[in-house]
Structure 1
Amino acid sequence: MTDQQDARVLDETARRRTFAVISHPDAGKSTLTEALALHAEVIDSAGAVHGKSGRKGVTSDWMEMERTRGISVSSAVLQFAYRDNVINLLDTPGHGDFSEDTYRVLAAVDAAVMLLDAAKGLEPQTLKLFDVCRSRGVPVITFVNKWDRPGREALELLDEVEQTIGLRPMPMTWPLGIAGQFKGLIERETGEYTAFLRAAGGATKATATVVDAETAKAEEPLYWQAAQDELELLDEIGAVWDEKDFLTGKATPVLFGSALSNIGVARLLDTLVDLAPAPAPRPDAEGHDRPLAAPTAGLVFKVQAGMDRAHRDRMAFLRICSGRFERGMVLTHAETGKPFATKYAQSVFGNQRTTVEEAFPGDIVGLVNANALRPGDTLYASDPVEFPTIPAFAPEHFAVVRCKDAGKTKQFRRGIEQLGNEAVIQVLRSDLRGDQAPVLAAVGPLQFDVVTARLETEFNAPVTLDRLPFQIARLTDAEGAAALSAQSETEVLRRDSDGEYLALFSNKWRMDIVIRKFPDVRMDAMPAGSSIS
């Protein structure tokens, strides 16, 4: 590229903010995602997770199962403009059974919003997702949600964050009123106080009114004095903004509000634009940083089909890591060396899609009909590169899947192949069981529900599942497969995605016996999904 082209890439990259929202289930993650889009004025009415009282379901929860159960089981992408910036917002599954999907999303972002329930504080899934952010060097902004409901004291929550995960809280706003008696927000830096009036049902923005300190003190004397005392304490203990500590993962900006009532959400959106880092050079598989202005390259972190029943295509989500992406350019698939055409490149907003002509580092591009791509793949233009792959987690639940109707065998095979390629589930096979009865391997049992639902609705192939009595999987090889196949309470199958052999054991006791019996046989542990689930 020319110097002028390089400069444009760098300028456009500086405008990008790519982040994920992470939380424990039911902390309000999808509601916050919707509220952020509302305050960016890219939607005019926020949806509710369950679509109650005639309200639509959230934009990011587009799967039928998500709408009926009120949980996110798949990550979603919302791209929109705000304040001359391009926002790439990734909503993640909250449930631990889908931790693989969340891990893949965290491989594609530059920052994360950690959502805390005001009553519950740090919950197990939140803790483990934060550990992933820490391991990947992803800075975290904390949003204390549901302050309009009864909950814990603000200082207690901050102390829990610091003591439990070692992040020093740096409050940017402070609530006037205890949890459940939420009066408004005090801006930490300026002392400005804003009162909020919630819109009916929370479907539109809350009305915000700036109130001078004397009026606020006169109207809420007890709460005002308590807030001033707490703010003085924060100053005394040094809980002040430090950019370096934020970017190096030592501290977290903290904001308070209510996503359902749309209170404090605009402030969070501004904080993301002002404080979250723009995309930076990404290390390749050899550990070398790829310059932002290098030729186009990107990482596939998610593959999804069935997003829109009107489109029976398969979309790969590509995080642009370097260069200027232009629709129609031919990229090289690093894993196979084959060309990949990008004629049908799209920008995604939930399940809505529009054609995208160009994109820059930090952007998420949807590539349609990406049948050859899998999560973890790299695409590049003229300068070869390969980014670190995204590991598959160790499955802990196993089931044989069979098609109920022999006349639907073709649809069944196609569906199993597609769901395996999307990494919705790990598909295992053996000569003993045959192609008619593959084994599904899952990190959590809810993955089986997603598979059976999608096979029936998208492929018209209802299935039965028979659970298998295995709990542990280890990677082995052809030699190990030959040695282990005859052992009791053990089975060796081959994974569709990469051809690796997986040895399945009924329990740890049985595995230890086999290891002692065959000390020279390969039995490697896989990354543990339970570590973030």
Structure 2
Amino acid sequence: MFTINYEDRIKKRRTFAIISHPDAGKTTVTEKMLFLGKVIHTTGTVKSKGSSKYAKSDWMEIERRRGISVTTSVMQFSYKNYIINLLDTPGHEDFSEDTYRILTAVDFCIMIIDAAKGVEERTKKLIEVTRLRKTPIITFINKLDRYSKNSISLLDEIESDLNIKCIPINWPIGSGTSFYGIYSLKDKKIYKYLKKKKNKQNHDILFNYPKILNLFSLKKIYEENYAEEIYEELQLIENVYDKYDSIEFLKSISTPVFFGTALGNFGIDYMLDYVVKYAPSPNSRKTNVRIVDPKESFVTGFIFKIQANMDLRHRDRVAFMRVVSGTFFKGMKLKNVRTGKIFVLSDAVYFIAGERRIVNVAYPGDVIGIHNHGTINIGDTFTEGENFSFIEIPLFAPEIFKKILLKNPLKKKQLVKGLIELSEEGTIQVFKKIDNNTIFLGAIGLLQFEVVLDRLKIEYKVDIVYNDINISLIRWIKCKSKKKLKDFMNKYSQYLALDFKKNLVYIATSSANLKITSDLYKKYISFSSTINF
């Protein structure tokens, strides 16, 4: 059973991901949160040209060079006596699979919207992914210190495009050069926006909102006509939008909405205050046997991400495990349910992006890193002995394919090692044709191929080039009859390949080709666009 102290530690944890369209300000918001958590002591250097400093969440070379997040970072920090586990998701749409896997490990998401651009295509796709798990969403409308769309129009756009009800928690007064601050609908106060300044130590100062005025004093600080305009708009907002409902929020029916400017250090602390007060703490998780409550005493967890070479000096592979229940202690023995192997976890780590520290104790909601020597897979469940598995994580069929050519044939061993490790972490999918052993790669987007090219060169010292290959689709195939499968393989050997886990796939040169073949064998063989990791 649990103690009061243990239950309190669970209640004081928040595990979430930040999602957004590229350039909406996700990395800047992340940086400001780390600043508030006192993980970093200066801000304002996020990917600025000519700067040698980068966001703590972007540790990979290509991320720093291109100014985008293409992998997942896990950061833990404290804020007002709460432990925050922040998962920074890939910002590029080509890495939507990685984002899906991350969302299996969080309890809610913060969605960043650019106030000038509104709802963008990537945001729509991400919300579709969150709906698969009914993940609660908090919305932060960013960049109010720049030209912005009308705030009411923005909320209308969110409601119509994302099919979620908006509940404003605060409201902006002006925008761009006329951005004066926000009005809190809860405490009826205006919080004035003060442009950021630096002290003598060259550290950014975050101005908490000084409670300077109440609503009825508007005319004392604004011109009369403008004050009346603001007053009328705020009165309208008070009456038009529903009040916050925790049940609707937790069911992902409604989203609390905040306004601010991350670059201007304004609005993030207001939102974080709300996160620790109202956002869900670690919740229960389904398994194939029963539901696991976080307050259970036995430790359980699941692997949602594997990352190779986060530290090039050690050539390591780290498996990210979300702790679901129990208190994890350094040196604890846990069983990988899939393999039955017992792991003594004496060197598990927690993260602040590329930095890591040894875990002495961890609680539900925390994410710890387990050193992996090729024996841990995405989707693996760890327990203290009980045999069950958390809901499995799917792998989706790729949409773009390339053939690999190795510049130096003597580097084939390093190439195979690199491709296996990159495929295990979900960066790329690797296939080998049955008839001639041709290796080809599959991905959701073109940027994934660039990442593989870059990482093979930097991390494995392997140079490759890509060639086009006549593949339109692949499908994983299964057949209960060994005889039927053997006949199929003999007839279609030139259209068959194995993935990195030796699963059989059918290669289609067109959607018409796939339909003809699948219709012909539908009584015996299933052609699936997904498979479990």
Corresponding residue of 1:183: 180
C-alpha separation in 1, matches of 2:85 and 2:382: 20
- Partners of 1:47 and 1:309 in 2: CA distance: 27
1:289 Cα shift?
Answer: 3.8
Per-residue deviation at 1:162?
Answer: 1.8
In structure 2, how many angstroms separate the alpha carbons of the residues matched to 1:110 and 1:370?
Answer: 29
1:476 maps to a residue whose letter is: I
Letter aligned with residue 444 of structure 1: G
8 Å CA contact 2:497–2:504 kept in 1: the answer is yes
Equivalent residue letter for 2:280:
P
Other-structure match for 1:204: 204
SS at 1:515 equivalent: helix
* Cα distance in structure 1, aligned partners of 2:490 and 2:257: 54
Secondary structure at the residue paired with 2:396? coil
User: What is the SS of the residue equivalent to 1:125?
Assistant: helix
- Residue 270 of structure 1: aligned partner: 273
CA deviation digits over 1:290-329, x for unaligned, max 9?
4531410101111112222233211111100011111111
- State the secondary structure of the residue aligned to 1:341: strand
1:445 corresponding residue in structure 2: 446
Q: Is the 8 A contact 2:185 2:238 kept in 1?
A: no
What is the CA-CA distance between 1:521 and the residue it aligns to? 4.5
Do the aligned residues in 2 keep the contact of 1:314 with 1:370 (CA within 8 Å)? yes
State whether structure 2 residue 393 is matched by structure 1 residue 374.
no
Deviations 1:316-357 (A, max 9, x none): 111000111111111111111111221111110010111110
Q: Which residue of 2 aligns with 1:220?
A: 222
The CA distance in 2 between the partners of 1:225 and 1:316, in whole Å, is 57
Equivalence for 1:342: 345
Q: Match for residue 251 of structure 1?
A: 254
Q: Which consecutive residues of structure 1, in runs of 5 or more, have no partner in the other structure?
A: 529-533
Equivalent residue runs for 1:310-349 within 5 Å? 310-349=313-352
Q: Which amino acid aligns with 2:497?
A: L
Post-superposition offset of 1:440? 1.2
Q: 1:443 to 1:312 in 2, by over 3 A?
A: same
Cα deviation for residue 199 of structure 1 reads 2.4
Query: Does 1:483 find its partner at 2:485?
Result: no
Aligned residue in 1 for 2:499: 495
Q: Deviations over 1:156-197 (max 9, x none)?
A: 111112222232211111111135531111111112112222
Partner of 2:412: 409
Q: Does 1:12 align with 2:9?
A: yes
Cα 1:224/1:508, change in 2 over 3 Å: farther
In 2, Cα distance between equivalents of 1:271 and 1:308: 35
**Which amino acid is 1:522 matched to?**
I
1:358 aligned residue: 361
Which residue identity is paired with 1:229? E
Displacement of 1:112 in angstroms is: 0.3
- SS, match of residue 128 in structure 2: helix
Match of 1:42 among 39, 42, 67: 39
Contact 2:71–2:90 (8 Å) recurs in 1: yes
Tell me the C-alpha RMSD between the 2 structures. Answer: 2.2
Cα separation, 2, equivalents of 1:508 and 1:426: 20
Question: 1:51, 1:124 → 2: CA distance?
Answer: 25
What percent identity do the matched residue pairs reach?
A: 36
1:455-494 correspondence runs (5 A) = 455-477=456-478, 479-480=484-485, 482-483=487-488, 486=491, 491-494=495-498
Deviation of 1:406 after TM superposition, in Å, equals 2.0
Distance 1:72 1:280 in 2: 28
Q: Which amino acid in the other structure matches residue 207 of structure 1?
A: F
Secondary structure, in 3 states, of the residue corresponding to 1:175? strand
- 1:386 equivalent in structure 2: 389
1:419 has 2:437 as partner: no
Residues 13 and 361 in structure 1, CA contact (< 8 A), matched pair in contact too? yes
1:226 and 1:350 map into 2 onto residues whose CA distance is 45
The one-letter amino acid paired with 1:204 is D
CA distance in 2, matches of 1:514, 1:431: 18
Instruction: State the number of aligned residues.
Output: 521
Three-state SS of the structure 2 residue aligned to 1:428 is strand
Describe the SS at the equivalent of 2:514.
helix
Residue aligned with 1:318, SS: strand
* Aligned-partner Cα distance in 2 for 1:73–1:162: 28
Name the CA distance, whole Å, in 2 between partners of 1:200 and 1:494. Answer: 58
- The answer (yes or no) to whether the contact 2:403–2:439 under 8 Å persists in 1 is yes
Deviates more, 1:215-224 or 1:364-373: 215-224
Residue in 1 aligned with 2:79?
Answer: 82
Distance 2:293 2:244 in 1: 30
Indicate yes or no: 2:159 matched with 1:173: no
* 1:29 Cα offset (Å): 0.9
- Letter of the structure 2 residue corresponding to residue 350 of structure 1: A
* Distance in 1 separating the partners of 2:467 and 2:234: 58
SS in structure 2 at match of 1:231: helix
1:156 aligns with 2:153: yes
Question: Cα deviations across residues 64-114 of structure 1 (Å, max 9, x unaligned)?
Answer: 101111111001111011111110001101211101110011000001001
Tell me if the contact between 1:333 and 1:340 (Cα under 8 Å) persists in the aligned partners.
Answer: yes
SS at match of 1:90: strand
Q: Which residue of 1 aligns with 2:301?
A: 298
- How many Å separate the matches in 2 of 1:507 and 1:480? 22
| Contact kept in structure 2, 1:116 and 1:143, CA below 8 Å | yes
Please tell me whether the aligned partners of residues 22 and 115 of structure 1 are also in contact (alpha carbons under 8 angstroms). yes
| Alpha-carbon distance in 2 for matches of 1:6, 1:505 | 57
Q: Can you list the C-alpha shifts for 1:33-88, whole angstroms capped at 9, x where unaligned? A: 11111122221112544242435110001111011111110011110111111100
Instruction: Quote the Cα distance in structure 1 between the aligned partners of 2:300 and 2:498.
Output: 31
Contact 1:399 1:439 (C-alpha < 8 Å) held by counterparts: yes
Q: 2:400 corresponds to which residue?
A: 397
AA of the residue aligned to 2:495: E
Tell me, yes or no, if the aligned pair for 2:300 and 2:383 is still in contact at 8 Å.
yes
CA distance change for structure 1 residues 40 and 431 in 2, over 3 Å: closer, same or farther? same
Distance 1:366 1:266 in 2: 28
- 331-340 vs 215-224, greater mean Cα deviation: 215-224
1 CA distance for matches of 2:100 and 2:373?
21
* Structure-1 separation of matches of 2:350 and 2:42: 21
Question: 1:361-404 CA deviation, whole Å, 9 max, x = no partner?
Answer: 00000112453112111111133331011100111111222321
Using the alignment, how far apart are the partners of 1:200 and 1:465 within structure 2?
49
Q: Decide which of 116, 121, 125 is 2:122's aligned counterpart.
A: 125
Matched, 1:509 2:512: yes
How far apart in 1 are the matches of 2:325 and 2:373?
Answer: 20
| Partner Cα distance (1:494, 1:15) in 2 | 46
Q: TM-score scaled by structure 2?
A: 0.92
Distance in structure 2 (CA, Å) of the matches to 1:331 and 1:46:
40
2:102 corresponding residue in structure 1:
105
Gaps of 5+ in 2: none
C-alpha separation in 2, matches of 1:137 and 1:343: 35
Q: Is the 8 A contact 1:198 1:261 kept in 2?
A: yes
